Amino acid sequence: DAGVIQSPRHEVTEMGQEVTLRCKPISGHNSLFWYRQTMMRGLELLIYFNNNVPIDDSGMPEDRFSAKMPNASFSTLKIQPSEPRDSAVYFCASRRQGPFSGNTIYFGEGSWLTVV
C-alpha cells in the first residue's frame, strides 16, 4: 500500500498568492482529515470528510481556507489569498471508518508551506 500521498511536499509562496495542497488517501479508506501543525499550536484539525462529505469544518480558520473532496481518492485544501501566518505543515490523514475497522488513522508526510 502506498500510504497517504500528499503534494507538494514543500512550497514557498508570496503573500497573496493562492496555494493548493493535494491529498490521495489510502484506497478503501472512507474518512479523510486535514490537520495543520505549528510549534505554537501543535496539531489542529481543520476539516474532515466521511464518504466524501464534509462532517466538521469548525477548525477552518477563516474564509480564506476551503477544502473539497470530489471523489473517494482525492482531496484539496486551498488557501486564497495566503498570508505569512499560514506558514505551517499541513497533514492529510485517512481512515477506514466502520464498526470492525479498528479505526487506526494513517498520516501522509505533510506539505511544508512557507508564505513570505
Partner 1 sequence: KQEVTQIPAALSVPEGENLVLNCSFTDSAIYNLQWFRQDPGKGLTSLLLIQSSQREQTSGRLNASLDKSSGRSTLYIAASQPGDSATYLCAVAHQGGKLIFGQGTELSVKS
Q: Which residues would be at the binding site for partner 1 (CB under 8 A)?
A: 4, 31, 33, 35, 42-43, 45, 48, 50, 55-56, 91, 93, 95, 97, 102-110
* Residue 77 CB, nearest approach to partner 1 (Å): 15
CB closer to partner 1, 19 vs 32:
32
Nearer to partner 1, 72 or 105 (CB): 105
Between 56 and 83, name the residue whose CB sits nearer to partner 1.
Answer: 56
* C-beta closer to partner 1: residue 11 or 81: 11
Q: What is the DSSP string of 4-35?
A: -EEE-SEEEE-TT--EEEEEEPPTT--EEEEE
Question: Taking the complex as a whole, how short is the minimal distance between the CB of residue 42 and partner 1, in angstroms?
Answer: 4
Q: How far is the CB of 97 from partner 1 (least distance, A)?
A: 6
Instruction: Report the nearest approach of partner 1 to the CB of residue 16 (Å).
Output: 27
Say how far apart CA 64 and CA 80 lie, in whole Å.
Answer: 5
